[in-house]
Amino acid sequence: MSGKPRLTYLNGRGRMEPVRWLLAAHSRLVFSTDGVLMFQQVPLVEIDGMKMVQTRAILSYIAGKYNLYGKDLKERALIDMYVEGITDLMEMILMFPFSPPEAKEKNLDSINDRAINRYFPVFEKVLKQHGQDFLVGNKFSWADVQLIEAILAVEEKIPAVLSGFPQLQAFKIRMSNMPTIKKFLQPGSRRKPPPDERYIETVLKIFKK
């Protein structure tokens, strides 16, 4: 593969989007276009001669390979802890488009409640206490990538969600202006748009097989 990962997944965000974010955060990395879905519920990433499945395994490998996983075990433990919390919130975002119409308002309220009362306060406190630009070790890491992805994903549905979190507002601005992330946020990048009806229908058809 010559260091150029190949991503195989549906043409949408799904469980591959965190992988796209992490790859895009690495300044010298270029990755190929998406292929067809081969393993249904899991992404496939071909990298360094391996065919990797399971999102967490893929992300951990990429983070370690590109020095986004802390300098020691303590920092890795913190990164893991923060990533797990963010993943819990992102799971709610991931499943929201598939909610039945009668449940959408309730599920959106749940996302808002979890974001402002459980998850975002944790990161607001971390950033305020250590006064640094990044979550762990004052160095850009996987945790920062996951957090900015989550913030933007929640804001798509709840635009004022950060109104009570000044540290996260500043974090969002810093992360969005990092050259690699700024490029990824531009139109025409490999970032996928929010799920539309066509994507939802495609996913439902696949998983009903």
Q: What is the pLDDT of residue 108?
A: 95
Rounded CA separation 40/118 (Å): 32
Phi, psi of 202 (to 5 degrees): -60, -45
Place of tokens 């490999």: 190
Q: Are strands 44-47 and 50-53 parallel, antiparallel or unpaired?
A: antiparallel
Q: What is the pLDDT of residue 60?
A: 94
Q: What is the pLDDT of residue 3?
A: 59
Show the CA angle centred on residue 179, arms to residues 177 and 181, nearest 5°.
75
C-alpha torsion sign, points 51, 53, 57, 62: positive
Phi, psi of 51 (to 5 degrees): -110, 105
Q: Tell me if 1 sits within 8 A of 46, measured CB to CB.
A: yes
Question: Along the 209 residues of the chain, how does pLDDT read in single tens digits?
Answer: 345 777 777 677 777 788 888 888 876 444 555 554 444 545 788 888 888 888 899 999 999 999 999 999 999 999 999 999 999 999 999 889 888 889 999 999 999 999 999 999 999 999 999 999 999 999 999 999 999 999 999 999 999 999 999 999 999 999 999 999 999 999 888 888 888 888 788 777 766 65
Q: What is the pLDDT of residue 113?
A: 96
Structure token digits, residue 125:
């406190």
Can you state the angle between helices 55-65 and 17-25, rounded to 10 degrees?
A: 0
SS3 35: strand
Can you state the angle between helices 166-176 and 120-130, rounded to 10 degrees?
A: 80
Bridge partners of 83?
A: none
Rounded CA separation 195/197 (Å): 7
Q: Is 20 exposed, middle or buried (0-12, 13-18, 19+ CB in 10 A)?
A: buried
Rounded CA separation 17/149 (Å): 9
